[in-house]
Amino acid sequence: MLAEGLPEDWKQELRAALASPSFHELERFVEAERREATVFPSEEDLFSAFRLTPYEDVRVLLLGQDPYHGPGQAHGLAFSVKPGVAPPPSLVNMFKELESDVGVPRPKDGSLIPWARQGVLLLNAVLTVRQAKPNSHAGHGWEDFTDAVIRAVSAKDDPVVFLLWGRYAQKKKKLIDSKRHVVIEGTHPSPLSASNGFFGSRPFSAVNEALESHGRPPIDWRLSA
């Protein structure tokens, strides 16, 4: 079953979504895809974001769109790649802005696991993809599931910072109670758009300012040097 790797705390929060016809159709689709083709991330890594960031610990939600579709890259965390894997271009741009914004040196690899362990939910809107076929699993039910995740995080009593980069992510703003939470919108770090507003936007310091203004501890953005 597709949801076997999802931690119990998240299963409780998402029980309605997991019981829906949309999710059952998604299960059948992903199982068939794994039989016919190479699908990323692996079953083991599929719900890494949820294991590393328990529901109660979520302080920030950074929304991505689709997993990386190259071998050895995707491991269940939006924008992140496995330890030891070179950062893809969007992640390189994130690290450039991270250094400019908060003075964090650019790390040697692209693993964002340290952020996830501090309460940054690194959520893609679609959680699986066929090798070498970006967006190949879009429109098959993952969006219903991850919309439910966003709503569940929005239902938290403690204020959460939602970081929405690019028009795709910003369409999800309607799912968020912006009276209780902080929504930071900005340009996507993709090479196609980073120079048109992402560089110089200082999103990392903005997240920490928002957290601290609500009495919550900031994120330590440092990664492996």
pLDDT tens-digit map of 82-130: 988 999 999 999 999 999 999 999 998 999 999 999 999 999 999 999 9
Beta bridge partners of 72: none
pLDDT band at 225 (very low <50, low <70, confident <90, very high): low
Helices in the chain by DSSP H: which ranges?
8-13, 15-18, 21-36, 48-52, 89-102, 113-116, 142-154, 166-170, 203-213
pLDDT tens-digit map of 147-200: 999 999 999 999 999 999 999 999 999 999 999 999 999 999 999 999 999 999
Which pLDDT does position 224 carry in this prediction? 75
d(CA 74, CA 10): 21
Cα angle, residue 12 at apex, residues 177 and 176 outer, rounded to 5°: 10
Domains in the chain and their CATH numbers?
Answer: 2-214 (3.40.470.10)
Quote the mean pLDDT of the chain. 97
Catalytic choice (9, 66, 144, 157):
66
Q: Give catalytic status of residue 57 as yes or no.
A: no
The model carries a pTM of 0.98
Which are the contacts of 129, defined by CB distance < 8 A and separation ≥ 6?
A: 39, 40, 66, 67, 68, 69, 74, 135, 136, 137
Report the chain's terminal Cα–Cα distance, integer Å. 38
Whether the CB-CB separation of 123 and 66 falls below 8 Å is answered with: no
